[in-house]
Every structure is written in C-alpha cells, then in structure tokens.
C-alpha cells in the first residue's frame, strides 16, 4: 500500500478528491480518516468543496499551528479549489563539488590528432579474439578522451528555482469578473446565459496561457545565460527523476553481436503460424493468368512465347514492346518528312505533245509545205 511506503519522519502532504463526504455522517469518510490517523495524519479541510459536500481534502502530519487552509472558487470546475499554506525552516546548504568535462576546440583538435596517430593494426590481428580487440579499442578511446579532454571540478551552490510572476492585475480583474458572472448565472440564469459564461471562462484560460508564455520568454531573454535559464525551467517543471533499481551491465561484444545476428530469425520464429494455402493458390491463379496474357499477345517469332520463366521476363518483354512502338513511330515520322521534302524540292514531270504548232501560224491540220512556206516568207 502507498501509505506504508512513506517516510513519516518527514513532513507529508496527501491530497486529492476522495469522493466521500467528510462533513456528513459518512461511514466511508470515518473509515478513511481512521486509516490516515493510524499513520499520524489528519484532515485539514472543513468547508464544502462541491455543492453541500466536502469531497476534497488534504491529510498531513504537519503541526496545525504552521498551516493555513482556504477554499475558493476558480470558476474552472464544479469543485472549489483548496489552498494549503504552511511554513517551514531550513538550513542553508553549503557548496557542493561537481565534476564536469569541458569540451573545447583545442581539446577536440588534440583528440582528432591523437586518434589518427594510433596504430590500429592490433584490431586486424588474427591470433587475438574479438573480446581482446574490443577491450583494446575501448581502452585507446578512453585514454585519448581523458588526456585531451580532462575532467575538472568546481563548487556550486544549489540555486533556488526561478520565480516567474505571470498573474498580473488584468488576470486578477478577469477572475473577479468571472466569479461574479458565475454567481449571477446561478441566481438569475435568465439574465446571464451559460454560453456567455463559457465564453468568458475560455477567454480567461487563453489569457492565462498567453501570460505564462510571455513571462517565460521574458525570463529567458533577460537572463545572462539563456541556456542555463532554460534548463532551470525544465528542471523546475519536470522534476528530478531517480532510478533506485540500478543493474550492472553484463553485455560484452559476443552477446552484442549474437543478439543483432539472430534478432530477425527470433522475431520470425515468434510470429504465429498462418495458413498460407489460400495465398499460394491465389498466387498460382494470378501467375497462370499473367502467363496466358503474355502468350496470347506476344509476337510469334518470340522465343519465350511457350512459357514465361519469371515475372522479370514479362516486364522486359513489355519494356521491349514499348520501345519498339516508339522506334516505329519515329521511323514513320521520318518517312513522312522525307516524302514532303521530295514534293517541295523536286519539279513535277510535264509531258509535252510530240508536235507543238506555232502560235498564230498554222495548226496541226495544215500541210508541211504550207508551214515551211509561211516561215520562209
């Protein structure tokens, strides 16, 4: 159980929506309070948090003189919000020593040169096994990094989380307006509709998002070290993750190679066996139809018209047919262009009659002597 895993020597705050009525005679609420009391914790909320019931509560083992609890309406939910304030004292922590490895241009230059000058011939030695080669390779790399990029130490203070104030007067006034409108809507629903209330609530939520974003941007832009400022925000919002179950790594080069060599085979063996009879039959039917189509439309002088060796042969045949069509189309175009050139450049053959009469002198019916006498005259 969660309660049995807590360290009760420290201050504990346990909060949530327990869905039991603490301010009424509820047996479940009494049992829950008795359970927390057995671990030294008591409830702190006495007011109603939803309608006429107190469903939300905060259990703690902190002294009552150091805490203050208030209930207020945020207009975000049908539950009221619970504010839990407490005071505590702490001792100022001393500086702590941390180790880091600075990466500089000079160190990277030395690292590259030192790695280039290493004799890697030992890795190709056939007499040594793979474990010795891997250990030799790793020792060389670690030695180069430690000598060129040495570790350094420094004392740092545990910095407090950044304080970003984004809730300004505009949001405060809008929240008060939202609370008033919600009260008026509950008392006089005909004056203020549910739609108007939801629009104002959505505006309030959107404005909160914009204000927080602008405040964070201003904090980062005004910081002298912007990267450090961003990391502080990430640590503050993300928290610190620790792993209690640390296991020592026993992976060596042989196990590494064996895993990646057999991973595909192991995955295939783990897959459930499928009934592939229908798939094989379907492939056979499709293959048969493809062969029939090829044999039906292939030319008669083709040597592969009796059977098709593979699908690649069909693809090659289709490519040859497309190329043949293109070449035939180009040859026809050249023949037509040549015929047009002959028609335009060559003179047509004109067949003249055997005896052409002289214009105005005689005709074909005249005698030869009269034609000659007329010319001589």
The per-residue pLDDT for range 240-277, each reduced to its tens digit, is 554 444 455 566 667 777 777 777 777 777 776 666 66
Please say if the pLDDT value at position 367 is more than 70. no
pLDDT interval class at 160 (50, 70, 90): low
Residue 268: HSE in the Cβ half-sphere, 13 Å Cα cutoff: 4
Distance in angstroms (rounded) separating the CA atoms of residues 82 and 69 = 7
Please say if the pLDDT value at position 307 is more than 50. no
Picking from 33-37, 118-122, 362-366, which range would have the lowest pLDDT averaged per residue? 362-366
Q: Is residue 184 a part of any domain in this protein?
A: yes
Chain centroid, CA 48 distance in Å: 45
pLDDT interval class at 377 (50, 70, 90): very low
- Counting residues of the chain whose pLDDT is more than 90, the rounded percentage is 3
107 with 56, same domain: the answer is no
pLDDT interval class at 362 (50, 70, 90): low
44 with 73, same domain: the answer is yes
Q: Is residue 104 a part of any domain in this protein?
A: yes
Mean pLDDT along residues 36-63? 87
pLDDT interval class at 225 (50, 70, 90): confident
pLDDT interval class at 187 (50, 70, 90): confident
Mean pLDDT along residues 192-211? 89
Specify the pLDDT at position 166. 86
- The tally of domains found in the chain comes to 3
- Counting residues of the chain whose pLDDT is more than 70, the rounded percentage is 72
Specify the pLDDT at position 86. 83
Q: Which of 236, 270, 287 represents a domain boundary (last residue)? A: 236
Distance in angstroms (rounded) separating the CA atoms of residues 236 and 160 = 10
371 compared with 173, residue with greater pLDDT: 173
Q: Is residue 266 a part of any domain in this protein?
A: no
Q: Which of 30, 65, 86 represents a domain boundary (last residue)? A: 86
Q: Which residues touch 172 (CB under 8 Å, ≥6 apart)?
A: none
Q: Is residue 12 a part of any domain in this protein?
A: yes
80 with 102, same domain: the answer is no
Specify the pLDDT at position 210. 92
Please say if the pLDDT value at position 202 is more than 70. yes
Range(s) of the domain holding residue 108: 96-156
12 with 78, same domain: the answer is yes
9 with 61, same domain: the answer is yes
Q: In this predicted model, what pLDDT tens digit does every residue of 38-47 receive, in sequence order?
A: 888 889 988 8
Specify the pLDDT at position 25. 81
54 with 33, same domain: the answer is yes
Specify the pLDDT at position 244. 46
Distance in angstroms (rounded) separating the CA atoms of residues 184 and 178 = 10
Q: Is residue 302 a part of any domain in this protein?
A: no
Q: Is residue 300 a part of any domain in this protein?
A: no
Q: Is residue 309 a part of any domain in this protein?
A: no
Q: Is residue 280 a part of any domain in this protein?
A: no
Picking from 37-41, 106-110, 259-263, 373-377, which range would have the lowest pLDDT averaged per residue? 373-377
Q: Which of 236, 270, 289 represents a domain boundary (last residue)? A: 236
Q: Which residues touch 6 (CB under 8 Å, ≥6 apart)?
A: 12, 39
Specify the pLDDT at position 239. 54
Strand partners, 173: none
pTM, whole model, 2 decimals? 0.34
152 with 133, same domain: the answer is yes
- Mark 91-109 as b/e (b = at least 16 C-beta within 10 Å): eeeeeeeeeeeeeeeebee
């Amino acid at each position: 159980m969660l309660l049995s895993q807590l360290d009760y020597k420290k201050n504990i705050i346990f909060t949530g929506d327990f869905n039991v009525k603490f301010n009424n005679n509820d047996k479940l609420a009494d049992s829950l309070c008795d359970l927390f009391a057995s671990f030294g914790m008591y409830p702190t909320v006495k007011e109603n948090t939803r309608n006429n019931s107190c469903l939300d509560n905060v259990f703690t083992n902190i002294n009552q003189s150091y805490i203050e609890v208030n209930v207020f309406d945020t207009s975000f939910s049908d539950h009221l919000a619970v504010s839990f304030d407490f005071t505590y004292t702490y001792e100022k922590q001393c500086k702590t020593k941390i180790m880091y490895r600075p990466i500089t241009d000079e160190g990277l230059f030395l690292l590259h040169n030192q790695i280039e000058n290493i004799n890697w011939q030992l890795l190709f030695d056939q007499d040594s096994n793979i474990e010795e080669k891997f250990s030799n390779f790793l020792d060389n790399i670690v030695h180069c990094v430690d000598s060129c990029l040495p570790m350094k130490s420094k004392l740092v203070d545990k910095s407090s989380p950044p304080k970003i104030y984004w809730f300004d007067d505009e949001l405060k006034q809008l929240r008060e307006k939202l609370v008033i409108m919600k009260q008026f809507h509950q008392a006089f629903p005909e004056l203020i509709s549910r739609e108007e209330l939801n629009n104002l609530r959505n505006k309030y939520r959107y404005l909160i998002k914009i204000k927080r974003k602008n405040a964070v941007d201003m904090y980062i832009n005004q910081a002298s070290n912007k990267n450090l400022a961003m990391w502080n925000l990430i640590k503050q919002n993300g928290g610190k993750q620790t792993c209690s179950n640390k296991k020592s790594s026993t992976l060596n080069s042989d196990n590494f190679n064996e895993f990646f060599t057999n991973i595909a085979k192991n995955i295939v063996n783990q897959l459930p066996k499928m009934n592939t009879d229908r798939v094989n039959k379907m492939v056979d039917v499709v293959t048969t139809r493809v062969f029939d189509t090829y044999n039906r439309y292939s030319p008669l002088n083709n040597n592969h018209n009796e059977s098709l060796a593979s699908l690649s042969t069909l693809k090659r045949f289709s490519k040859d047919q497309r190329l043949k069509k293109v070449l035939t189309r180009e040859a026809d175009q050249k023949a037509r262009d040549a015929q047009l050139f002959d028609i335009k450049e060559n003179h047509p053959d004109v067949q003249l009659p055997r005896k052409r009469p002289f214009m105005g002198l005689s005709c074909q019916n005249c005698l030869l002597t009269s034609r000659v006498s007329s010319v001589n005259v």
